[in-house]
């Protein structure tokens, strides 16, 4: 059987495609290359360049391939951009997901893994935050994803489709074998920005907000290494294929690190004391998000292998060097 990976030319979907191929699966990647790269798709996967909201194209993909599961990564993912352009997020992340689900139901695809986000929690009253708290996203990005979670629950109640929703916390690092990493043309994620500053590819780093109600005033996040996250998807796929029921799980390590702490680790690992400018808050940022991560361990048997920020930063540094040389070369 074949897995359809939407967004498989992107950061996390690309690592998923690699991992699926590593375990002998057939992989079809559907990606419009809006933020992804054809070169990031492993050659053994079939890349179809197109939009996952294009129902005629998706129907054709289901007709041409024996797809038993969809891993749906494709989305717009930048929180501040969702604040300035919410309709783009509701179209790409929400409305098009509805079309994809309709095609899946029509084609009888019964297994669906969805990339959700810690942003569905908004500003949780307590951290770590567990899956069963009331959901109150504070930005359009989080709302655009939460609506897909709701659609999935309704579709699963009405049809034979079962799902695993994985709510990722902050994803970072790269394939330990060095085959792939985060390649987005315009970096916005903290670790990637910090690593670029350390390598002199940008002029220092701005810290967005130092007056949050956190120990050092900067935002706290739970950084999860990308192949550990992908392992949770492989386990989710096995769970669904074994007939397991629909499930929603946080994906994080259950440990919060502040922006200033992350910056210190990047400076230490790189050995470069790059410029850090303390700035005002960025729109849409919650103060703290740390995963209550018991369920993914208990229900899926997940055990992380790379829960170490220095190792994650080392991976990000070595990927960024490679990416830079590739561009220069
Ligand atoms: N990176 C994180 O820290 C993080 C955290 C939580 C959740 N997520 C979720 O994980 C998923 C993957 O994120 P990523 O970091 O790999 O981002 P990314 O931008 O690297 O990958 C997204 C991919 O989707 C493709 N895409 C976007 N819209 C499309 C469309 N309409 N049709 C076809 N392809 C389309 C892009 O070209 C890109 O290759 C997203 O759903 C995101 O919301 C990411
Ligand atoms: O140059 C920078 C970049 C980021 N930050 C801060 O670093 C923290 C983390 O920001 P970022 O790496 O952009 O991630 P988030 O905004 O937390 O969002 C990520 O993590 C969410 C889950 O927690 C996911 O839903 C999103 O898709 C993903 O982009 C935030 O406090 C930012 O304000 C800075 O201070 N300077």
Mean pLDDT of 108-113: 98
* 222 Cβ inside 6 Å of ligand 1: no
Kindly state whether residue 211 falls inside one of the protein's structural domains.
yes
Contact 38, 9 (CB under 8 A): yes
Q: What is the ipTM of this complex?
A: 0.98
Does residue 264 share a domain with residue 241? no
Does residue 98 share a domain with residue 10? yes
Cα of 190 vs centre of ligand 2, distance in Å, is: 6
Does residue 217 share a domain with residue 104? no
205-208/111-117 β-pairing: unpaired
Cα of 73 vs centre of ligand 1, distance in Å, is: 5
The CATH number given to whatever domain includes residue 314 is 3.90.25.10
* 10 Cβ inside 6 Å of ligand 1: yes
Enclosing domain of residue 210: 190-221+254-321
Q: How many domains does the chain have?
A: 2
| pTM, two decimal places | 0.98
- Please give the full DSSP string across 80-133, using - where no structure is assigned: HHHHH-HHHHIIIIIIHHHHHHHHHHHHT--EEEEEEEGGGG-S-SSSSB-TTS
- pLDDT of 279 strictly over 80: yes
How many helices (H) and strands (E) are present in the chain, helices listed first?
11, 13
Kindly state whether residue 316 falls inside one of the protein's structural domains.
yes
Kindly state whether residue 317 falls inside one of the protein's structural domains.
yes
Mean pLDDT of 182-188: 87
- Index of the ligand 2 atom closest to the CA of residue 78: 29
Does residue 212 share a domain with residue 157? no
Kindly state whether residue 291 falls inside one of the protein's structural domains.
yes
- Index of the ligand 2 atom closest to the CA of residue 222: 23
Q: Which two tokens stand for residue 223?
A: 């950084």
Does residue 305 share a domain with residue 201? yes
Kindly state whether residue 206 falls inside one of the protein's structural domains.
yes
Atom 31 of ligand 1, nearest CA residue: 51
Look at residue 305 in the predicted model and tell me its pLDDT: 98
* 8 Cβ inside 6 Å of ligand 1: no
Element (H, E) at 75: none
Respond yes or no: is residue 163 known to be catalytic.
no
Q: How confident is the model at residue 283 (pLDDT cuts 50, 70, 90)?
A: confident
Look at residue 329 in the predicted model and tell me its pLDDT: 58
Q: Which residues pair with 28 in a beta bridge?
A: 4, 46
Does residue 264 share a domain with residue 118? no
Question: Minimal CA–CA distance to 170: which of 103, 106, 228, 93?
Answer: 228
> Which ligand has an atom closest to residue 288 CA?
2
Q: In this predicted model, what pLDDT tens digit does every residue of 131-169 receive, in sequence order?
A: 999 999 999 999 999 999 999 999 999 999 999 999 999
Does residue 285 share a domain with residue 246? no
Mean pLDDT of 262-288: 96
Please tell me what DSSP assigns to residue 279: E
Beta strands in the chain (DSSP E): 2-6, 26-31, 46-49, 67-72, 111-117, 162-168, 170-172, 205-208, 220-221, 223-225, 247-251, 257-258, 276-279
Does residue 117 share a domain with residue 98? yes
Cα of 102 vs centre of ligand 2, distance in Å, is: 32
Kindly state whether residue 182 falls inside one of the protein's structural domains.
no
Kindly state whether residue 236 falls inside one of the protein's structural domains.
yes
Kindly state whether residue 185 falls inside one of the protein's structural domains.
no
The CATH number given to whatever domain includes residue 127 is 3.40.50.720
* 208 Cβ inside 6 Å of ligand 2: yes
């Amino acid at each position: 059987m074949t897995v359809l990976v939407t967004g498989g030319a992107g950061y996390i979907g690309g690592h998923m495609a690699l991992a699926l191929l590593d375990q002998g699966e057939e992989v079809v990647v559907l990606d419009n290359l809006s933020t992804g790269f054809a070169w990031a798709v492993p050659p053994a996967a079939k890349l179809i360049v197109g939009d996952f909201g294009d129902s005629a194209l998706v129907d054709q993909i289901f007709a041409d391939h024996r797809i038993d599961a969809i891993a749906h990564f494709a989305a717009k993912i930048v929180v501040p951009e969702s604040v300035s352009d919410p309709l783009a997020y509701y179209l790409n992340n929400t409305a098009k997901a509805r079309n994809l689900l309709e095609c899946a139901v029509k084609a009888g695809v019964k297994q669906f893994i969805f990339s959700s986000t810690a942003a569905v929690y908004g500003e949780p009253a307590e951290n770590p935050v567990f899956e069963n708290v009331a959901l109150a996203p504070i930005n359009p990005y989080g709302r655009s994803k939460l609506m897909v979670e709701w659609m999935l629950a309704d579709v699963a109640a009405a049809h034979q489709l079962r799902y695993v929703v994985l709510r990722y916390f902050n994803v970072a690092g790269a394939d330990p074998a060095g085959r792939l990493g985060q390649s987005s043309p315009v970096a916005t994620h903290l670790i990637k920005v910090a690593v670029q500053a350390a390598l002199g590819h940008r002029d220092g780093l701005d810290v967005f907000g130092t007056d949050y109600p956190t120990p050092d005033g900067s935002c706290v996040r739970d950084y999860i290494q990308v192949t550990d996250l992908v392992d949770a998807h492989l386990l989710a796929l096995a769970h669904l294929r074994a007939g397991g029921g629909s499930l929603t799980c946080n994906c994080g390590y259950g440990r919060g690190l502040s922006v200033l702490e992350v910056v210190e680790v990047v400076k230490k690992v790189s050995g470069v004391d790059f410029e850090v400018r303390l700035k005002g808050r960025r729109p849409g940022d919650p103060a703290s998000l740390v995963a209550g991560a018991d369920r993914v361990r208990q229900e899926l048997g997940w055990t992380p292998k790379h829960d170490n920020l220095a190792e994650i930063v080392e991976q990000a540094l070595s990927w960024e060097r490679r990416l830079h040389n590739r561009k220069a070369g």
